[in-house]
Structure 1
C-alpha cells in the first residue's frame, strides 16, 4: 500500500456519493436524507474535549456508528483519474470506504471514510449521517485487533462549489476522522449539490 502524508489529501475532492434517483419516484420532501443543523457545526472548546494517544498504523476493517445504526465493512479507496476520491460500489448499500493512501483511523493525522447516502434502490450506509449529533461515538475496527473510538466534534454540510478541502482533508496534530457522504439540496438535473461531513477525534481504544 502506497502511503502519502495527509498534507496531500487537501487536493482531493469527493465525487458523487449518492444517485438520488429513488427520490424522483417517492418525492424528495418525504424521503430526503436528514441534514445537520447549524448547532451541530459548532464544536465544543478544545480544552473541554477528551483526547487519546495516537495508535500505530493499522488498516481499518469496519465502522460502527450506533446512534444512526451503522455497522458496515470498509474497503480501500484510491483516487480517480481526475484526482477525486473514489467511492465504494453503489450497488452495495452497506459498504463504506477509507482513503488507503493516507492516514489509517487512529493514527496521528486526518483519516478519511466515505460512503453513499443512497443508491437506485433507496437509502444506503450513510443515509442518516446528517442526523448525527456532537458527542456521538464512532468505532473503527482495525486489522491489528484494536478498536479506535472517536467522538464527533461537529457535523456540517457544504455545497460542492464551497467545499473546504483544507478544513476537511488537511493535516491534524492529533488523530482525527472525517466521515463523508452526499448531502445538501437535491436537483433532478445535477443530483445532490453538496456533502455532509462529520468531524471527529480519537478519544479511546480497546481490543476487539
Structure 2
C-alpha cells in the first residue's frame, strides 16, 4: 500500500482507466492519444518552492483544463477491493473522479484526480492529457464556491512496472495536484502499458 497524506492508496491500475479496443492497429497511429515529451518532465527551477496559500478543505465538483477542452464533473472515488484506486464508470466519457479519502484539491497535500483516456467508443475525458505543457492552467471547482487554480509543473509517462508511487502519491508540504490517465505503449492483448501523470501546484483561487 502507498501513502497519500494520511490515507493509504494503491497505484492506479493501467487497465482500469482505459479500454483502447476502439484503436486500430498497434495504438501508435493517428488515433493514439498524445504522449508527453521529455521536455515536459523537467519542472521550472524553483517551482517546487512556490505556491499560493492553502485553501480550507472542500470537496471538488468539476475539473477544467481549457488548453485541451476538458470541462467535466468530478465524482468521489474510493479504493477497490483489490486496493487500487477505483475509477469512474467507463461508459461516462466526460466524467472524472477524485480520491475523496485523501487531500481535497487546494488544501495542503497531494490531491489525486483520475479519469479515462478512452472507452470502447473512442476518446474520453483525459484523452489529450499527454499534450499538456508546463505552465498550463488547471481549474477545480469546489463546493465552497471557490475555484482552485493550479499550474502544471511537469507531465510524465511511466510504465506500469516502473510507476513511481512515492513521487506521484507521496505527501506534499504545499497544495499539489496529480491528474492521471492511461498512456505509454498499447497492445491489443494488454491495453495501455503505463500512465500519464500531470504534476501541478496551487497558484491561486477565485470565487466561482
Counterpart of 1:31? 31
Q: Where do 5+ consecutive residues of structure 1 fail to align? A: none
Q: How many Å apart are 1:49 and its aligned residue?
A: 6.6
Deviations 1:27-68 (A, max 9, x none): 641200000000000001126975200000000000000000
In 2, Cα distance between equivalents of 1:173 and 1:184: 29
SS of residue paired to 2:67: helix
Deviations 1:44-95 (A, max 9, x none): 1126975200000000000000000000000000001111000000001000
Deviations 1:90-129 (A, max 9, x none): 0010000000000000000000000000000000000000
Please report the TM-score for the alignment, with normalisation by the length of structure 1: 0.94
Change in CA separation of 1:60 and 1:164 when aligned onto 2, cut-off 3 Å: same
Matched, 1:131 2:123: no
Which portions of structure 1, spanning 4 or more consecutive aligned residues, are displaced by more than 3 angstroms? 24-28, 47-50
Change in CA separation of 1:24 and 1:75 when aligned onto 2, cut-off 3 Å: same
Q: How many Å apart are 1:21 and its aligned residue?
A: 0.5
Counterpart of 2:71? 71
**Could you say which structure has the higher helix fraction?**
1
Counterpart of 1:86? 86
In 2, Cα distance between equivalents of 1:168 and 1:182: 14
Change in CA separation of 1:27 and 1:50 when aligned onto 2, cut-off 3 Å: closer
Please report the TM-score for the alignment, with normalisation by the length of structure 2: 0.94
Q: How many Å apart are 1:24 and its aligned residue?
A: 3.2
Deviations 1:152-197 (A, max 9, x none): 0000000000000000000000000000000000011110000000
Q: How many Å apart are 1:198 and its aligned residue?
A: 0.1
Contact (CA 8 Å) 1:7, 1:170: kept in 2 or not? no
Contact (CA 8 Å) 1:63, 1:138: kept in 2 or not? yes
Q: How many Å apart are 1:8 and its aligned residue?
A: 3.5
What RMSD in Å do the two structures reach over aligned CA positions?
Answer: 1.7
SS of residue paired to 2:150: strand
SS of residue paired to 2:40: helix
SS of residue paired to 1:19: coil
Q: How many Å apart are 1:26 and its aligned residue?
A: 9.6
Matched, 1:117 2:117: yes
Q: Where do 5+ consecutive residues of structure 2 fail to align? A: none
In 2, Cα distance between equivalents of 1:165 and 1:48: 18
